[in-house]
Amino acid sequence: MDYHFRAFHLPIMEWFKQQGWEVHVAAQGKLELPFVDRKFNIPIQRSPLHKANFTAYRQLRSIMQEQRYDIVHCHTPMGGVIARMAGRSVRSKGTKLIYTAHGFHFCKGAPLPNWLIYYPIEKSLARFTDCLITINDEDYRLANQRQFKAGRIAQVHGVGIDTDMFHPLSSSDRALRRQEFGYRNEQFLMFYAAEFNANKNHRILIEALARIKERVPSIKLLLAGRGTLETECKQLASALGVESMIDFLGYRDDISKLLPMCDVAVSGSLREGLPVNIMEAMACGLPIVATHNRGHSELVADQINGYLTDPRSVDDFALRISQLATMDDLRHEMGAKSLERIKRYTLSRVKSELSEIYFSYMLQQSTSEADDRVWKAQ
């Protein structure tokens, strides 16, 4: 979807423009994006079996053959599959194909079908990949240990967090921000931004809230996002008697304002690559309570800047929330550790890591074709 580029890749597209390159984007959607010279709306679908993906493949292959791109950088599982298959013929003519794996669907503890479906696809397509970028330690080790035949396997620390946008507030500014959004200063606010789907596992948060509603009566859970399971989650909250303690905020474009006024960030997600919502919360100086998975464990050091819990244990999740709600010093200490740990994931660092990769391919291009250079994001 084109909103993926708006949410995560605008700084890199701006960087390419600053280098004098032309930038194209191909994705589903009709958003107008800055730093883009040309945009193609192609019907990529999340499901591998959706017939529209065959149309997207043919369209993208035609676009690549016509435009003769120097660099193609593809993102998301299906974007990565379609772009690398479509790019096989142009790669033989000099186009460099880069793929960022935002968390392999196969990993330690992943369901067997994920290994049976996604693993052979990713391994076979690696040989058509000039640079495979991973965003966490586990995926980097896995790609090397399983001998993925990409030209190069690199690790980049996510998509980069803008610490000018996401940062802590002073106590006085925090009180004013809460007043602005209709919350009291004495309330204990938890925040989770995620699509309502099975993987994001909102259920554990709602059930944990029900366990501690008597011990922490001032607690409030803010849920930002939309999704197919939103109605089901609202029904669960009502059934457990905690609907008044949860605000379903819908889609929000002001998360940088909401996060710093909260006390804790939470996540019940079952699978993550390197979750942006957790990094944004850390940049705002919040402690984290999250379920244990490779993406969360990359960011959260258990009992240092937060807690990692068993995704099957509602009691454990509820206990950790209760501890942070009742121990101010612990919450502030863990929040300070979050600020320290986020430094390796800042936008400036990620741009530096990516620019090193891009420059290695940009320098290979013939100077006689400089005016025709185009970077294409898929």
Q: What is the pLDDT of residues 22-54, one digit of tens each?
A: 999 999 999 999 999 999 999 999 888 899 999
Q: Where do the domains of the chain lie, and which CATH numbers do they carry?
A: 2-160+346-377 (3.40.50.2000), 171-344 (3.40.50.2000)
pLDDT of 376:
56
| 302: β partners | 306
Between the CA of residue 280 and those of 191, 266, 294, 313, what are the distances in Å? 11, 12, 17, 25
Between the CA of residue 217 and those of 187, 224, 244, what are the distances in Å? 9, 21, 11
DSSP 196-250: SSTTT-HHHHHHHHHHHTTT-TTEEEEEE---TTHHHHHHHHHHTT-GGGEEEEE
The single residue listed with the structure tokens 């940009």 is 362
pLDDT of 369:
54
pLDDT of 37:
97
For residue 75, the SS3 value is: strand
Distance, CA of 286 to CA of 181 (rounded, Å): 19
Calculate the CA 125 to chain-centre distance. Answer: 22
pLDDT of 372:
53
Closest by CA position to 287, among listed 248, 329, 251: 329
Burial class (CB in 10 A: 0-12, 13-18, 19+), 268: buried
Main-chain phi, psi angles of 346, to 5 degrees: -70, 160
For residue range 61-87, what is the model confidence (pLDDT) as tens digits?
999 999 999 999 999 989 999 999 999
What's 346's DSSP letter? B
pLDDT of 365:
61
pLDDT of 215:
93
What is the average pLDDT score of the chain? 93
pLDDT bracket for residue 183 (50, 70, 90): very high
For residue range 366-377, what is the model confidence (pLDDT) as tens digits?
443 554 555 555
Which residues neighbour 370 within 8 Å (Cβ) at sequence distance 6 or greater? 20
DSSP 95-157: -EEEEEESS-SS-TT--HHHHHHHHHHHHHHGGG-SEEEESSHHHHHHHHHTT---S-EEE--
Which tokens in the block code for residue 44?
Answer: 């990529």
pLDDT of 110:
74
Taking residue 53's Cβ as centre, other Cβ atoms within 10 Å add up to: 20
Distance, CA of 68 to CA of 85 (rounded, Å): 15
